[in-house]
Structure 1
Amino acid sequence: MKQGGIVKKLWTATALLVLLTLGIATLTQLWLLQKTYYRQQVDRLLEGARGAADAIATDNGTEAVYLQLEGLAGSLQATVFLLNTEGQIIHSTSGSGWGRGMMHGMGMGPRGFGHGMREQFAQVDMDEILAGRPVIYRGHHPMFNTEVITVAAPIEKDGSVMGAVVVNTPLQPIDANLRALQGVSIYSLLFGLLLAALFSWFLSRSLSKPLLQMQEVAKSMAQGDYSKRVRISRDDEIGWLAESLNTLSRELEEKISLLRRVDETRRDFVARVSHELRTPLTIIQGNAEALLDRVVEDPAKQREYLNNILEETLRLRRLANELLDLRKIETGEVDLYKERVDAVSLFTGVVQRMQGLAAEREIHLRLETPQQAVIVEADTDRLGQILINLIENALRFSPAGGEVLVKLMEGKNEIIAEVRDNGPGIPEDEQKFIWDKFYKVDKSRSRSVSGTGLGLAIVKHLVELHGGAVTLFSKPGQGTTFRFTIPK
């Protein structure tokens, strides 16, 4: 998307909208202005003519009548005629140079009388006047030979019409004033269009900027880069859209990262399983081939080879069982069969079963429990499996002559168990990895004391399935303590 494209489109659309709106408004204003202005001028002339007609009707003095008409002509800057009932001009006066020049050309003085002028006032309908109604005419007048506005007001006295007062004013000055007013409206329109164009330009850039940023972010997402974000500085629909895009980008980045970690874990898992399988299979194959080829004739040596095959077979079986258990746990296929069980009895039974392995490795295995029963709702087999895995791990890494302590404590709402050894401990930078599948702290240890690397991962999952938590406390050279809690 080119930056100029959306900016120009938004600016053009906004400018055209403003042009259309202001254009219609200005044309309407010009029409109303013209109509209103002419109506005001006609009302002004008609009001003056009526005022003069009323004054003439109440004053019979000829001089006073003339003065009244001259005052009207002066105030309106118009030419005023006094007509009789026959439509003949019996008096005329003018308050403007235009009117006086016209009257002089017709041989009339400021108070001159004319005869035979009725046909010159064909625009004044005397029938309407005699009926007591005013007459308004706008257009070309042959007497003045120009465009004029003519109004005539009847002079009424005692219910009868005595004549009419006719006021004439040229349209040219009125049109000039009107054009000046219309010019102001047009200039206002042009100025408004200029401001609107500038405003719409800045508005279009303001609206397009986050859209362009969103386009760049979306393009980066399509190319696999989910780290870019839209800078949000507005709280409106565009800002909400930008926030949604940022949320989408952030969630996609997290999910892609998770998928990558899952893929790495899968590949690492396959590699570690392959490694764990390769060594015992190699030992089994080597010992079996030696026996088949009769390389070893000594019965004691043959028995040793057979014991090696058996030990590695048992190791493979244990690995397969633990892999199946871990898969079921991770996929949620393990159902806990909880029941009320005495944790003291369960711990005592497990420790007794592990005494043989401890004695074989010359390690003292000790148990500390409360004197009274500690009842907890748990899956007996899975709770025993947790304890067995932790004890086996402690025995595996404790030196000959060392001690492993199993301790059971009762909390208010949970049981607390600890398995403590006095082995070499775990470096702090490796403690966060011990819950990973196949992770081994000391990779240089002999196979006689190394496990599959799955026991602690199983422990963590089973404890969490019970709603508990497992933690680790260890310092190099000071042994290791695993503590887990199970809600009662």
Structure 2
Amino acid sequence: MNSIKKKLFLQIGSLIVLLIGLLILANTFLLKPFYIQKQKKQLLKHYDVINAIDADGYSASYDVLGDIENKSHVNIIIKDNTGVLYSTKFNFLDDTLIEPKLTPPPPKPYVIVQEKPINQQINWVWSEDERKTRFLQIVGTLDNSNRIKISMPLMAINHSIDLANQFTLIIGILLFVIGMFIAYVLSQHFTKPILDMNRTTTALKHLHFGTACQVRSKDELGQLAQSINDMSIELRDTIHSLNHSNNELQKEVKKRIKIDEKRKQLLSNVSHELKTPIALLQGYAEGLKLNVAKNHNRTDFYCDVIVDEANKMNQLVQTLLSVNQIEFGDIKIHETDFDIVDLVHYIVDKYHQHFEDHHLHVSFLPLNQPIGVHTDRLKVEQVLTNYINNAIQYVDDQKMIKIRMVDREHHVRIEVYNSCTSIPEEELDKLWDSFYKLDKARTRALGGHGLGLSIVKAIQEALGNGYGVELNPNGICFWFEVAKCTEDL
């Protein structure tokens, strides 16, 4: 039996049955002594009333005595030495002490069962006739020396007890039915908030926080329901906070894993990039040591190669340090307001001679009016320079380069296009990785170390601006954005 409703219902029913049983037992064993005790008190009260009547006033007090007999169902006999002064009209007891003035019915013999003194004048007497009918009597003398006997039949008490038990049983069954109905209603009403709280806590166990207890009262159950609702809110907020922290931790773990992978890749790439210049340095240095160069011009060539490779290695290390500083926020950003159109004009003009030397077909589409931007001028120049160098380095035989500026609502977009052979779309995201080259053999024919676009990525993410690459039918277009000023220059 797991239902609190059933337990409460049966407990209330058991309590009703127990109370009815106790009431019947009380009637059976306690009602008779209680009844006799009450009758004793009543008889003593009648004795006191009769004792207060004057000896010559019995005939005058006939109504008083008759009223006592009628109300209490007692028989009264009062005698003196001459005979009976007063007697109940219907005397059912034989009295051997006196002769009644009226002719009594035939005497009925009785037996004294018990006698117990009350005081010096009167005694309690329990007697029994031939039909086993018991009587309770006060027998003795009055203050005026007259003798008195007050008798009360006890034959009705046992019958009354049987009737009381029968009535109690009938009423008890009726009360049991009514009580069980009330118990059912009360158990429904009492257990409804408990069942509601049980459903809510079950939902909480499965981390469903959409359900809440209905607070129907301000008693202990209402306070418990409110506490469960408060606990649900606290658990929801705590779990939400834990989930958020867990997501942040997972992101951090992924970030750390990615950093470790980048470090491993960086180590592999750096070792690969440094392997060639170190081998050249070692070979030419050993040649000088062994005096392989027989003349002065050859010696100068060996030294020039060593210096050139050392410079390349130094440039590579400086570039790596720059990328590392930008990615990890170790470099300061100096944001100022300036005209982006003027800056792009300056950078394109700076490359004019370089374009002519390489016989490149360059088209530049600037904006027609000055536009103020708010960012780091040197970083923007570095990004655009890397894009232009990258375009010059990888332009194909068409030698087509296009530089365009596009005015957007909140920023200016700068695009650098160069004609080139087709590039697989799945390779685009890898272009921003350090040391990544489309040349899988990683030869030195095209120059560079594959760090230019990774520098662009680091700078734009540090500045909070967009960047990207798009494939065109005959080439590729790299773009980046610069945030506009909130006010005009």
Q: Which TM-score bucket, shorter chain as reference?
A: 0.5 to 0.7
Match among 151, 154, 158 for residue 143 of structure 1? 154
Q: Distance in 2 between matches of 1:336 and 1:257?
A: 27
Residues 361 and 400 in structure 1, CA contact (< 8 A), matched pair in contact too: no
Kept in 2: contact 1:340–1:377 (CA 8 A): yes
Contact 1:468 1:484 in 2 (8 A): yes
C-alpha deviations, 1:371-406, integer Å up to 9, x for none? 544433332211111111111111111136613232
Equivalent residue for 1:487? 483
Q: 1:421 aligns with which of 397, 406, 418?
A: 418
Could you say which residue in structure 1 is the equivalent of 2:137?
A: 119
The aligned counterpart of 1:165 is none
Residue number in structure 2 paired with 1:8: none
Shift of the alpha carbon at 1:257? 3.7
3-state SS, counterpart of residue 438 of structure 2: coil
**Map of 1:321-400 to 2, 5 A cutoff?**
321-355=318-352, 357-358=354-355, 361-399=358-396
- Larger Cα-atom Rg: 2
The residue aligned with 2:166 is 173
Give distance in 2, aligned partners of 1:413 and 1:273. 39
What are the residue-to-residue correspondences of 1:201-220 with 2, within 5 Å? none
Equivalence map 1:76-115=2 (5 Å): 82-83=73-74
Identity %: 22
Instruction: Report the Cα distance in structure 2 between the residues aligned to 1:89 and 1:388, rounded to whole angstroms.
Output: 144
> 1 CA distance for matches of 2:162 and 2:302?
137
The yes-or-no answer on 1:235 pairing with 2:253 is: no
TM-score, normalised with respect to structure 1: 0.56
Contact 2:74 2:153 in 1 (8 A): no
Paired residues in the alignment total 357
1:463 corresponding residue in structure 2: 460
Instruction: Say if 1:397 and 1:424, in contact at 8 Å, map to a contact too.
Output: no
Letter in 1 for 2:166: P
The answer as to 2:419 corresponding to 1:443 is no
Is 1:37–1:178's contact at 8 Å kept on the other side of the alignment? no
- Does residue 275 (structure 1) correspond to residue 293 (structure 2)? The answer is no
Cα distance per residue 1:71-111 (max 9 Å; x no partner): xxxxxxxxx9845788989699xxxxxxxxxxxx9678xxx
Cα distance in 1 for partners of 2:271, 2:483 equals 38
* Paired position in structure 2 for 1:48: none
Question: What letter matches 1:273 in structure 2?
Answer: V
Corresponding residue of 1:263: 260
Change (3 A) 1:288 1:405: farther
Q: Secondary structure at the match of 1:441?
A: coil
Take 1:305 and 1:365, find their aligned partners in 2: how far apart are those partners? 38
Matching residue of 2:52 = none
For normalisation by structure 2, the TM-score amounts to: 0.56
Deviation of the 1:472 alpha carbon: 1.1
Q: Which runs of 5+ in 1 are unaligned?
A: 1-10, 43-68, 70-79, 93-104, 109-113, 121-140, 150-167, 212-229
Residues 210, 423 of structure 1: alpha-carbon distance in 2 compared, 3 angstrom cutoff: same
- Inter-partner Cα distance in structure 2 for 1:247 and 1:172: 73
How far the C-alpha of 1:434 sits from its partner, in A, is: 1.5
The 3-state SS of whatever aligns with 1:420 is: strand
Q: Any conservation in 2 of the 1:81–1:91 contact (CA below 8 Å)?
A: no
- Tell me how far apart the structure 1 counterparts of residues 372 and 248 of structure 2 sit (CA, whole Å): 44
Mark the CA change 1:370 to 1:34 in structure 2 (over 3 Å): closer, same or farther. Answer: same
Residue 387 and residue 427 in structure 1: after superposition, are their counterparts in 2 closer, same or farther (change >3 A)?
Answer: same
Is contact 1:350–1:384 with CA below 8 Å preserved after alignment?
yes
Q: Deviations over 1:397-424 (max 9, x none)?
A: 1136613232334445432211111122
Distance 2:425 2:164 in 1: 104
Letter in 1 for 2:315: R
State whether residues 232 and 242 of structure 1, in contact with CA within 8 Å, keep that contact through their aligned partners in structure 2.
Answer: no
Contact kept in structure 1, 2:327 and 2:462, CA below 8 Å: no
The 1:421/1:143 distance shift into structure 2, 3 A limit, reads: same
Matched residue type, 1:235: T
C-alpha distance in structure 2 between counterparts of 1:395 and 1:147, whole Å: 128
Query: What is the CA–CA distance in structure 1 between the aligned matches of 2:259 and 2:90, rounded to whole Å?
Result: 115
Question: Equivalent residue of 1:119, what SS?
Answer: strand
Instruction: Describe the SS at the equivalent of 2:432.
Output: coil
- Identify unmatched segments of 5+ residues in structure 2: 32-69, 78-86, 93-127, 139-151, 213-230, 485-489
Q: 1:478 to 1:291 in 2, by over 3 A?
A: farther
Whether the 8 Å contact between 1:343 and 1:375 is mirrored in structure 2 is yes
Measure how far apart 1:301 and its partner are. 4.7
Amino acid at match of 2:419: N
Where 2:396 maps in the other structure, the secondary structure is coil
User: Is the contact between residue 17 and residue 176 of structure 2 (CA under 8 Å) also seen in structure 1?
Assistant: no
The answer to whether the 8 Å contact 2:341/2:367 transfers is yes
Amino acid at match of 1:404: I
Aligned-residue offset at 1:360: 5.7
Aligned CA RMSD, in angstroms, stands at 5.2
Q: Distance in 1 between matches of 2:7 and 2:88?
A: 54
Find 2:307's aligned residue among 297, 307, 310: 310
Q: CA 1:413/1:270 → structure 2, altered by over 3 Å: closer, same or farther?
A: same
Give the aligned residue type for 2:426. Answer: D
